[in-house]
Amino acid sequence: MTPRQTHLALAAIAVAALVGGVAALRYIPWGGSASPVRSDAARSAWSGALPTGLRSMALRIKPGAFPPAPPPEPTIATPQEPTVEAATLPAQDGVEGSVSFPPAPPPARPEIVEKPTPLPPSRPANLAELADKFAEAAAAAPAEQPQTAEATPTAPAEVPATAPALANAPLPPARPQEPSARAAVEATPTAQESAPPTQVARAVEPTLRAAPEDAFQQEAPIRYGMGDQVFVRIFKQEGQLELWLRKSNSRFSLYKTYPICKWSGRLGPKLKEADYQSPEGFYSVSAKQLHPHSNYHRAFNVGYPNAFDRQNGRTGGLVMVHGACKSVGCFAMTDRGIEEIYAFVEAAMRAGQHEVQVHIFPFRLTEQAIARETGGSWLAFVGAGGNYQHWTEFWRNLKQGYDIFEQTGEPPAAFACGDHYAFGAGDSSCRRIAGW
């Protein structure tokens, strides 16, 4: 047998086997209980003997087992429904399969019935003629009684029979009003009434209660101004300048306390020229001692040396209260501080004050402070006090004038009496402290 004949024979055998297998699958009794392929062994044998393509065809469900799905209807876009997963069919005659059910159709969209929009009422053609007739009928009708705010609003006037078309015409809806506005409208007479306007009810006024007795001050507070009398006190250790002002027939009152920007030296009085000490004592300033054009903006000379300084051989001069922040024996207040202080001093002299007293103290002269700085207290043993024992008598003399002002509110007149100051009056040997 030639190779060609061999190939043809093998092809014929394959075709015959294929046709026989198809015919066998076609006529196998699938639903009977006596099927030769009912057992697992027979099913295994058949599945192993058949080719892969024939085995997949055998596992498929017969066509026509389920009715065809109806064609999808056009639907309106709706939210996505959950996808129905494929349902697994139970085994039937040893064959298993799966099928996917189509999603349920969405609910039908309700129909929207459009209602016709009502048209506005038509305007009568003879409106002007009807209006004239209505005015004539209103003028002929008797006037009604006026209404008050408490009266019930009356019904609208009847339309005369001569204007049937105007009476039948639809009127626009009345605009709602607030209760207060409605009462005012009801109280106002209409244009059809010829009576005089009525009086509207008065609003209830709030009840006023009497003010308590302590709500008013018995005496008006003192108000300061330019031209008031001036008194100045300076404290070296605290670095403060006090400006006191007084109205006529009243005591001095503290207007303001200014910080001293700089003063020079130590505690104690000035003794000689160029010792770089700021003075201590009782001084007086007159108009000649004002320096509005000083090299330190504004300035006034305190009057050192005074009569007491000259009697005790002290020398020097040109001790100022001025602007800037530089001091060689002076009291520097900065330009802003001296601007206000100088203005009050100058205004007081222009208003008639002849001299402005300036009292300069080493500190606030209390007994405790003097004892602390002169070594007369236990603080001196721990180094918390000063070493100014030689100024003890001098400071106690200054304290006499300090106490008079603290008690009376009136700066005392100081007199130079050799080795001490006297206050109020002095003997013939004493000289009054005065300005230049």
For the chain, counts of helices (H) and of strands (E): 10, 15
What are the CA-CA distances from residue 402 to residues 288, 361, 397, 399, 434 (Å)?
Answer: 26, 9, 9, 5, 18
The answer to whether residue 94 is domain-embedded is no
234 by Cβ neighbours in 10 Å (0-12 / 13-18 / 19+) ranks as buried
The answer to whether residue 35 is domain-embedded is no
Calpha distance 235→260 (Å, rounded): 9
In this predicted model, what pLDDT tens digit does every residue of 174-194 receive, in sequence order? Answer: 665 555 545 554 555 554 455
The domain that contains 337 carries what CATH number? 2.40.440.10
The answer to whether residue 246 is domain-embedded is yes
The answer to whether residue 366 is domain-embedded is yes
Return the sign of the alpha-carbon dihedral for residues 119, 120, 126, 130: positive
The answer to whether residue 254 is domain-embedded is yes
The answer to whether residue 389 is domain-embedded is yes
Active site residue 261: no
Number of residues that make up the chain: 436
The answer to whether residue 260 is domain-embedded is yes
Calpha distance 418→81 (Å, rounded): 119
- Indicate the number of domains in the chain: 1
Per-residue pLDDT of the chain (436 residues; tens, 9 = 90+): 687 888 888 999 999 999 888 888 877 765 544 444 445 555 554 445 445 554 555 455 455 555 565 665 655 555 555 454 444 445 454 444 555 556 667 777 766 666 667 777 777 777 778 878 878 887 776 555 544 444 444 444 444 444 444 445 566 666 655 555 455 545 555 544 555 555 555 555 556 666 565 555 555 566 778 999 999 999 999 999 999 999 877 899 999 999 999 999 999 999 999 999 999 999 999 999 999 999 999 999 999 999 999 999 999 999 999 999 998 889 999 999 999 999 999 999 999 999 999 999 999 999 999 999 998 766 555 555 678 999 999 999 999 999 999 999 999 999 999 999 999 876 788 999 999 8
From 261, 297, 330, 359, the catalytic residue? 330
Active site residue 330: yes
Q: What are the backbone dihedrals phi and psi of residue 200, each rounded to the nearest 5 degrees, phi first?
A: -80, 140
From 261, 291, 293, 322, the catalytic residue? 322
Range of the domain at 274: 229-432
Whole-model pTM: value is 0.51
DSSP bridge pairs for 300:
290, 321
The answer to whether residue 71 is domain-embedded is no
